[in-house]
């Protein structure tokens, strides 16, 4: 058996993981994930061929989102969970196919497998490399990675009760298109941009879901030190899981701390009601190996990013839920009403010591669109008087590579009359630096999680309107985005679909871009990589 995966920024040698993932994914998991995507392509083809209304396919829509989410980098390492999901999707597929003529369908819509061995044997012929032409492969995969990010955001919104069958219909269209050998490079470039358009819709849906349920994020100081109580650390992106955990820990003497991408939960008015919502512990996902040791208490992963734990002791303290999973870690399922029972985690927390302090002080965030619009007059005035010369969108992901020190240096070296707009875990590279403020406006404005990049797009569109500009690219705004996993891919495609040009992407360009596809992105959208910090700053400031 062997594997091939090049979906994330840390892919081996920048070209593809072939033996074992740099993320820790083994070949069995990688191949099962390929097969899971393949069966979802088959389902998509069937949905397109059937006279069905996607609105009526609730369970199918949900499980397709779940399948895509499971395969996101660092979400699910559990072979058994992925095998179970493949079986579930095969059952859904076969039921849905009904009396369609198998001869009119692709293999993805008809193949059969019985055992895990069958699955693994089948997987080796349906993965990324099954597409021989490297440009077609590059575009198909870029679209699929965008769909994975879109599915994650759509599933979060769904969990809050906001659904959008148009998004599901597009996911079927795009997944089925990846089976269609008649599509040209131009067709797939067009589909890539359409993926970005739906990415905007998915982020808008999640924004609407989050803000209607939890209120609009507001400027908030978040404690990064610790209290004396035993505690639970919650990681990932799912706010419904957080809400349930806070409800169940209320009055128990157990505190709840956020980790990594859960930090922005502190910005929502709703979560401020909980006295035991203590603060944020640690940094971006990749530092968790050390930070989980000193945290002492149990950890709940609601989504990515899991790093394989290095000791059995830590593994026993990790719980997963939703699309995440790790072998040997307890997975918590919802009941028929969507309620999750976290009592085992709470009981464990009570038996363990309180977290050890690794930092102290506060960080400020909560600058999603509503809060920034409330400051609009001040911001516009600062731009008009020249107090703010330029905004830098530095949203995206953080990662392990040493070369990401670039972003810390970049933030430090930016002229003092510039403001950073950020979202996603990329912010941990500079959100604890004291970069000061401009007339009371902090120089780092954190909108929230990676999906809240949507807020940054809204802010840019608002500024365009205020300054009466024709083109978003005429704003004093530069994009220097850090990427790692597939949610950043959908954020990037969303920005492209909104007409944003000259985005710099780092620390390396995606390994899944073939030279020709990279050329299209460079020539049509001005996409560029990163270089030396000071030269890049000069370049950005000159444009």
Residues of this chain that interact with ligand SF3 (CB under 6 A) are 74, 237, 260-261, 285, 304-305, 397, 424-425, 449-450, 484-485, 487-488
Q: Which is nearer to ligand SF4, 220 or 304 (CB)?
A: 304
Q: Which of ligand SF3, ligand SF4, none does residue 299 bind to, with CB < 5 to 8 Å depending on kind? A: none
Q: Which of ligand SF3, ligand SF4, none does residue 196 bind to, with CB < 5 to 8 Å depending on kind? A: none
Q: Which of ligand SF4, ligand SF3, none does residue 149 bind to, with CB < 5 to 8 Å depending on kind? A: none
**CB-side exposure of 503: number of CA atoms within 13 Å?**
29
Q: Which is nearer to ligand SF3, 201 or 429 (CB)?
A: 429
158 sits in which H/E element: helix 134-159
Closest by CA position to 197, among listed 495, 450, 451? 495
Rounded Cα distance, 448 and 40, in Å: 31
Q: Which is nearer to ligand SF4, 19 or 190 (CB)?
A: 19
Q: Which is nearer to ligand SF4, 30 or 537 (CB)?
A: 30
What is 230-258 written as a DSSP string? -EEEEESS-HHHHHHHHHHHTTTT-EEEE
Q: How far is the CB of 487 from ligand SF4 (least distance, A)?
A: 13
Q: How far is the CB of 266 from ligand SF3 (least distance, A)?
A: 16
Q: Which of ligand SF4, ligand SF3, none does residue 6 bind to, with CB < 5 to 8 Å depending on kind? A: ligand SF4
Interface residues with ligand SF4 (CB under 6 A) are: 5-8, 10-11, 17, 21-23, 25, 30, 73
Q: Which of ligand SF4, ligand SF3, none does residue 521 bind to, with CB < 5 to 8 Å depending on kind? A: none
Q: Which of ligand SF4, ligand SF3, none does residue 487 bind to, with CB < 5 to 8 Å depending on kind? A: ligand SF3
| DSSP-based three-state secondary structure for 334 | strand
Q: Which is nearer to ligand SF4, 135 or 141 (CB)?
A: 141
Q: How far is the CB of 8 from ligand SF4 (least distance, A)?
A: 3
Q: How far is the CB of 508 from ligand SF4 (least distance, A)?
A: 12
57 DSSP 8-state letter: -
Closest by CA position to 15, among listed 401, 522, 513? 513
Q: How far is the CB of 274 from ligand SF3 (least distance, A)?
A: 23
Q: Do 211 and 271 contact (CB within 8 A), yes or no?
A: no
Q: Do 265 and 258 contact (CB within 8 A), yes or no?
A: yes
**CB-side exposure of 472: number of CA atoms within 13 Å?**
18
Q: Where does residue 338 rank: exposed (0-12), middle (13-18), buried (19+ CB within 10 A)?
A: exposed
Task: Round the CA-based radius of gyration of the chain to a whole number and report it.
Answer: 23
Tokens of 494: 């969303």
Rounded Cα distance, 502 and 498, in Å: 13
Q: How far is the CB of 423 from ligand SF4 (least distance, A)?
A: 22
Q: Which of ligand SF3, ligand SF4, none does residue 22 bind to, with CB < 5 to 8 Å depending on kind? A: ligand SF4
Q: Going by DSSP bridges, is the β-strand pair 437-438/441-442 parallel, antiparallel, or unpaired?
A: antiparallel
Q: Which residue has the tokens 């600058």?
A: 367
Residue nearest to ligand SF4 (CB): 21
Q: Which of ligand SF3, ligand SF4, none does residue 8 bind to, with CB < 5 to 8 Å depending on kind? A: ligand SF4
């Amino acid at each position: 058996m062997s594997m091939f995966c090049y979906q994330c920024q840390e892919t081996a040698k920048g070209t593809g993981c072939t033996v074992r993932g740099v993320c820790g994914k083994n070949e069995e998991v990688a191949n099962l994930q390929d097969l899971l995507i393949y069966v979802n392509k088959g389902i998509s083809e069937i949905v397109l061929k059937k006279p069905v209304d996607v609105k009526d396919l609730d369970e199918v829509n949900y499980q397709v989102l779940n399948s895509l989410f499971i395969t996101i980098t660092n979400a699910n390492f559990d072979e058994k969970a992925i095998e179970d999901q493949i079986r579930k999707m095969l059952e859904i597929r076969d039921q849905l196919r009904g009396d369609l003529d198998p001869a009119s369908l692709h293999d993805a819509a008809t193949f059969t497998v019985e055992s895990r061995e069958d699955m693994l044997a089948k997987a080796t012929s349906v993965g990324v490399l099954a597409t021989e032409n490297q440009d077609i492969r590059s575009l198909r995969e870029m679209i699929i990675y965008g769909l994975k990010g879109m599915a994650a955001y759509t599933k979060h919104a769904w969990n809050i009760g906001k659904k959008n069958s148009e998004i599901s219909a597009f996911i079927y269209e795009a997944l089925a298109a990846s089976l269609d050998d008649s599509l040209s490079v131009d067709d797939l470039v067009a589909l890539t941009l359409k993926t970005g358009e739906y990415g905007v819709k998915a982020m808008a849906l999640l924004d609407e879901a989050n803000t209607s349920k939890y209120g609009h994020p507001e400027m908030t100081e978040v404690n990064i030190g610790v209290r004396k109580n035993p505690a639970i650390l919650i990681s990932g992106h799912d706010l419904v899981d957080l809400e349930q955990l806070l409800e169940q820990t209320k009055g128990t003497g157990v505190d709840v701390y956020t980790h990594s991408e859960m930090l922005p939960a502190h910005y929502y008015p709703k979560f401020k009601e909980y006295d035991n919502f203590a603060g944020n512990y640690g940094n971006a996902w990749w530092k968790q190996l050390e930070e989980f040791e000193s945290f002492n208490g149990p950890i709940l992963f609601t989504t990515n990013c899991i790093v394989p734990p290095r000791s059995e002791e830590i593994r026993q303290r990790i719980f997963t839920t939703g699309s995440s999973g790790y072998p040997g870690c307890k997975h918590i399922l919802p009941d028929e009403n969507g309620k999750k029972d976290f009592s085992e985690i709470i009981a464990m927390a009570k038996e363990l010591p309180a977290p050890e302090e690794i930092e102290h002080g506060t960080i400020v965030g909560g600058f999603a669109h509503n809060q920034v619009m409330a400051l609009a007059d001040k911001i516009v005035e600062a731009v008009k008087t020249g107090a703010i010369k330029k905004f830098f969108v530095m949203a995206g992901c953080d990662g392990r590579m040493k070369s990401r020190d670039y972003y810390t240096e970049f933030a430090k070296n930016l002229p003092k009359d510039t403001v950073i707009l950020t979202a996603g875990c990329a912010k941990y590279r500079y959100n604890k630096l004291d970069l000061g403020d401009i007339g009371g406006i902090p120089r780092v404005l954190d909108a929230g999680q990676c999906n809240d990049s949507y807020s940054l797009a809204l802010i840019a569109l608002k500024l365009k309107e205020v300054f009466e500009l024709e083109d978003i690219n005429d704003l004093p705004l530069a994009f220097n985005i850090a990427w790692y996993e597939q949610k950043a891919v959908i954020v990037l495609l969303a920005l492209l679909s909104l007409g944003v040009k000259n985005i710099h992407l780092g620390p390396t360009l995606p390994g899944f871009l073939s030279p020709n596809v990279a050329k299209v992105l460079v020539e049509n959208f001005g996409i560029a990589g990163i270089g030396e910090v000071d030269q890049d700053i000069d370049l950005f400031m000159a444009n």
